[in-house]
Amino acid sequence: MLKGVFPVERFAPLRTPFYYYDLDLLRRTLRKVAESSAGLPGARVHYAVKANFNPVILKEIASFGFGADCVSGGEIKAALDAGFAPEGIVFAGVGKSDREIDYALQQGISRFNVESAAELEVINELAGKAGKTAPVSLRVNPDIGAHTHSNITTGLAENKFGINYEQLEGVLRLALRLGHVKFMGLHFHIGSQILDMMDFVALCNRINSLRESLAKRGLPCGDINVGGGLGINYQHPNHLDIADFDAYFRTFRKHLQLPQGTAVHFELGRSIVAPCGTLISRVLYVKEGTTRRFAIIDASMTELIRPAIYKAYHRIENLTSDEPEEIYDVVGPVCESSDVFLKGASIDKCRRGDLMAIRSAGAYGESMASGYNCRPLPPSVFSDVDF
């Protein structure tokens, strides 16, 4: 079975489980993002911090000059600490607290992506008290279903996110009227792990027709933030280690109709960090069940919850075995039946102590880790650093 290149000898003395980050792959990815986005005039890329807020990863991304997309005050602080400029920080989320809004105003971030009329009024009031004007975009719910898992669609009318079409004109007029906010543009985000470019074409078409209908009523639309959501190939991490950024940015260049000079903001999370992260674990026991064979490993849903909550697929490789493949259910030690990484996986024969690589785990892995069952948070090691 084809395996990724991992420094297995360096892993040997380390306590498992831990996250291993390939910083060279991260840098190649970031260079590719910079290069592909340069083909779209006005493109500004913001990294979605929630995908991975490990300080080493954040610093690397900040050093490329990208902006940051944050969904909490804590993420704004993490981004600033890592070196992201406040002028490149955008702040989204349906439930921004007063403290978070105050903090964001003090730091001088570039944009509040506002999700309701109620939130707009609170931002206006807090900005007034602080003697500031808050730059705002309105997050529109475009009622588009991305072809992805139902827990990660965000752009459907039934989702909690954004302002729906019927209310948009009213909220936009309110934004133009209020004294302490400045209307800057419209924001969209339709979901995650999107591989079908037609979903993004549909988003572009929605944005184009919305701009037209707002213009007819004499309303501005400002600049455009198309959100994130570009998917990666979880099946073949060794062949396809960088997402198709060319196709992605080409789609927006071709289908989004904007007046010259209009900025287009992107908020990419998964596609930037997922491939460079691997969860490394050891086999604790091989257990022969009545109908199935289990590889019980020392990593669990507390380090990587995506399989448990989204039934997400991560390729698993045995790094220390070359024996013929056998079929395993790869499971963790946590007391939940959903603590399963992969069922019926064909993996090189496992023995106690073997090192297992759970691939493409750099996004929504470490950042979603928990301490359930009193388990410690996973440490991280990096390809560049001696360990």
Ligand X SMILES: *Cc1c(COP(=O)(O)O)cnc(C)c1O
Residues with Cβ within 8 Å of 296's Cβ and at least 6 positions away in sequence, in order, are 283, 284, 285, 286, 287, 331, 332, 333
Q: Give the shortest CB-187-to-ligand X separation in angstroms.
A: 7
CA distance 356 to 116: 45
Enumerate the β-bridge partners of residue 288.
293
CB of 271 to ligand X, least distance (A): 6
The SS3 of residue 219 is coil
* DSSP letters spanning 265-334: EEEE-HHHHTTTEEEEEEEEEEEE-SS-EEEEES--TTT--HHHHH-----EEETT--SPEEEEEEE-SS
Q: Give the nearest distance from C-beta 193 to ligand X in angstroms.
A: 6
Residues lying near ligand X in the complex (CB under 6 A): 48, 50-51, 69, 71, 92, 189, 192, 227-230, 267-271, 363
Mapped onto helix, strand or coil, the DSSP state of residue 135 is strand
Nearest CB to ligand X, comparing residues 270 and 282: 270
Query: Is residue 72 a contact partner of residue 64, using CB atoms and an 8 Å limit?
Result: no
Looking up tokens 């198709």 gives 244
Q: Specify the amino acid at residue 341.
A: F
Q: Which is nearer to ligand X, 204 or 355 (CB)?
A: 204
Closest contact distance (angstroms) between CB of 159 and ligand X is 11
The one-letter amino acid code at 240 reads L
User: In the bound complex, what is the minimum distance in angstroms from residue 186's beta carbon to ligand X?
Assistant: 13
Compute the least distance from the CB of residue 69 to ligand X, in Å. 5
Which of residues 269 and 378 has its CB atom nearest to ligand X in the complex?
Answer: 269
- In the complex with ligand X, the residue whose CB is nearer, 69 or 317, is 69
Identify the three-state secondary structure at position 121: helix
Instruction: Answer for the pair 124, 178: CB distance below 8 angstroms, yes or no.
Output: yes
- The nearer residue to ligand X, 222 or 269, going by C-beta atoms, is 269
Shortest CB 152 distance to ligand X, Å: 7
DSSP3 helix / strand / coil % (the chain, rounded to 5): 35, 25, 45
| Cβ at position 376, least distance to ligand X in Å | 26
